[in-house]
Amino acid sequence: MDSSVVSFGEVLWDIFPNATRIGGAPLNVAYHLTKQHIPCTMISRVGRDELGQRLLAQLQDWGMPATGIQEDANQPTGTVLATFDEKHEPHYDIVQPVAWDHIEWQPVYETLLQQAGAFVFGSLGARHATTRKTLFTALEIAHLKVFDVNLRAPFYTFDLIRSLLEKAAVLKVSVSELKQLLDWLDKPYVAEADGVHYLQDKFKISEVLLTKGVKGSVYYAKGYHHVFPAVPVTVRDTVGSGDAFLAGFLAGKLRQQGPVKAMQNAAWLSAFVTSKAGACPPYTDEEYNAFVGAHPL
């Protein structure tokens, strides 16, 4: 194993009222890992169309390998129609069917997964049977399995979420998602810690990252938890902030910096992204380090 990451699932274009930007939670995570100098390969699929070619060209510009991206002659590259409400929160119309619904297993993925230090996956990418089958094949091979719940109605069932929870070693979940999971499990919501410990015990999950927006985040391991404040910033938009959070945590973890430093990096990177437009804004090491220096935790 090395410190590289494989990220699996949807790659797409978010079509906003005034811009079109690359998106998809697994790709956002991969972008920020790459910016944090953690090698990351996407496993996904694009159409053989203009949007697909633009997406592949963008990956090349970012210095990310496109070796795990398949091309589909029948289905278009994924798109999402995005709008914002008055609280800057995004709302998505996720088009289907698209190319990333049809990610097929390729033998080369086995070596890729065996060598990688972590495997990132979510629930949206598994909405179609073809990609779902490929995901579960990957989960049998991958080492550190990192599940970003990322519920996107109506593209999930509790049976799917349960089967993914059973595979996870690290879980990223928001408070609203936590409550939804507990409701499905007929577990009354008493308090955050009680709910998280219940999930950890039931599904044998080693680490849970609970994200709480402006209220910060909490790291849970067995018999241990640590609360982290949010970094105060002027919000430009919240698109991709959770993905940046996960990337920041994984970068610290794979550098073996310990959970406190990893979670601090997660908080910084998430806040940094919310202060900019889009999930994958361009930035330099110097710009990010200056932000960290100006926002001590």
CATH of the domain at 139: 3.40.1190.20
Does 23 map to a domain?
yes
CB atoms within 10 A of CB 132: 18
Domain count, the chain: 1
Q: Does 19 have pLDDT greater than 90?
A: no
Does 201 map to a domain?
yes
The DSSP bridge pattern shows strands 207-211 and 217-221 to be antiparallel
Mean pLDDT value of segment 107-132: 97
pLDDT in tens, 42-90: 999 999 999 999 999 999 999 999 999 999 999 999 999 988 888 777 7
What's the rounded Cα separation, in Å, for the pair 136 and 221? 25
Does 86 map to a domain?
yes
Q: Does 188 have pLDDT greater than 80?
A: yes
Mean pLDDT value of segment 209-224: 95
Q: Distances from the Cα of 263 to the Cαs of 123, 126, 260, 277, 286, in angstroms? A: 23, 27, 5, 23, 20
pLDDT in tens, 136-165: 999 999 999 999 999 999 999 999 999 999
3-state secondary structure of 208: strand
Does 87 map to a domain?
yes
Question: pLDDT over 70 for what percent of the chain?
Answer: 100
Q: Does 105 have pLDDT greater than 80?
A: yes
Does 297 map to a domain?
no
- Is the whole-model pTM more than 0.85? yes
Residue from 15, 19, 18, 11 nearest 46 by CA: 11
Kindly state the DSSP code that residue 102 receives in the 8-state scheme. Answer: G
Kindly state the DSSP code that residue 131 receives in the 8-state scheme. Answer: H
Containing structural domain, residue 179: 5-292
Is 15:79 a contact under the CB 8 Å cutoff?
Answer: yes
